[in-house]
A and B are shown apart, each in its own frame.
Chain A
Amino acid sequence: MPLIRLQDIWRSYQMAAETVHALRGVSLSIERGEYVAIMGPSGSGKSTMMNLLGCLDTPTSGTYELNGTDVSHRDDNELAEIRNREIGFVFQTFNLLARATALRNVELPMVYAGVSPDERREKALVALAAVGLADRVDHRPNELSGGQRQRVAVARALVNSPSILLADEPTGNLDSKTGVEILALFDELASKGNTIIVVTHEEKVALHSRRIVRILDGNIASDEQVRRVEGRESRFEGKPAPDPSA
Chain B
Amino acid sequence: MAMVALAAHKLRSALTLVGVTVGVFSIILVMTVMRGLQQNIESELSGLGANTFTIEKWPAINFEGPSGWERFRRRKNLSYQHWQALREQATRARSVAAEAPFAMGEVASRFERSNPDVAVNGVTPETFLARNWLVEAGRALLPGDLDGSRNVCVLGNTIMKKLFPQGGALRETVKFSGVNYQIVGYLEPKGGFGGQAQDNFILIPITTGLNRFGGAQWRSLTLYVQTHNQDEMEDTVEQVRGVLRKVRKVPPGEVDDFEISSNDSLIQQFRDLTLAVRVGVAVVSSIALLAAGIGIMNIMLVSVTERTREIGIRRAIGAKKRNILTQFIMEAVVICEVGGLIGVILGVAGGNAGAYYLKLPPVFPVDWAIIGLAICSVVGIVFGTYPAIKAANLDPVESLRYE
Contacts and interface: CB of A to CB of B under 8 A. Distances in A.
Interface in B296-340: 309-310, 312-323
Contact of A84 (B8, B310, B317): B317
* Prevailing SS type, chain B contact patch: helix
Contacts of B313: 95-97
Nearest to B316: A89
B5 A99 contact: yes
Interface stretch (A75-83, A119-127, A142-150, A196-204): A75-83
B396 to A, nearest CB: 5
Contact of A109 (B318, B320, B322, B400): B318
B400 A95 contact: yes
Nearest to A95: B313
A99 B9 CA distance: 11
Nearest to A156: B317
Contacts of B8: 99
Q: Which of B318, B320, B400 has the most CB of A within 10 A?
A: B318
B309 A80 contact: no
A171 B354 CA distance: 66
A91 B5 CA distance: 23
A22 to B, nearest CB: 11
Interface residues of A, number: 25
A100 interface: yes
B366 interface: no
A83 B318 contact: yes
A89 B319 CA distance: 13
A83 B5 contact: no
B318 A51 contact: no
Contacts of A95: 309, 312-313, 316, 400
Contact of A80 (B4, B310, B320): B320
A81 B8 CA distance: 29
B397 interface: yes
A77 B400 contact: no
B323 A112 contact: yes
Contact of A112 (B4, B310, B317, B400): B317
A241 interface: no
Candidate in B312, B321, B397 with the most chain A CB atoms within 10 angstroms: B397
Interface in B1-51: 4-5, 8
A34 interface: no
Contacts of B316: 54, 56, 83, 89, 95
Contacts of A89: 316-317
A56 B316 CA distance: 7
A156 B315 CA distance: 14
A84 B318 contact: yes
A172 to B, nearest CB: 14
A56 B396 contact: yes
Interface in B359-403: 396-397, 400
B397 A51 contact: yes
B161 to A, nearest CB: 63
B317 A77 contact: no
A12 B1 CA distance: 38
Nearest to B403: A93
B156 to A, nearest CB: 65
B364 to A, nearest CB: 35
A80 B5 CA distance: 23
Nearest to B4: A99
20 contacts: A54-B316, A56-B396, A56-B400, A57-B396, A76-B320, A77-B322, A80-B319, A80-B320, A81-B318, A83-B317, A84-B318, A89-B317, A91-B400, A95-B400, A97-B310, A99-B4, A99-B8, A109-B318, A112-B318, A112-B320
Given A76-B321, A95-B312, A100-B4, 18 more contacts: A51-B397, A56-B315, A56-B400, A80-B318, A80-B319, A80-B320, A81-B320, A83-B317, A89-B317, A95-B313, A96-B313, A98-B310, A99-B5, A108-B317, A109-B317, A112-B317, A112-B318, A112-B320
Closest 5 interchain pairs by CB? A84-B318, A112-B318, A80-B320, A109-B317, A56-B396
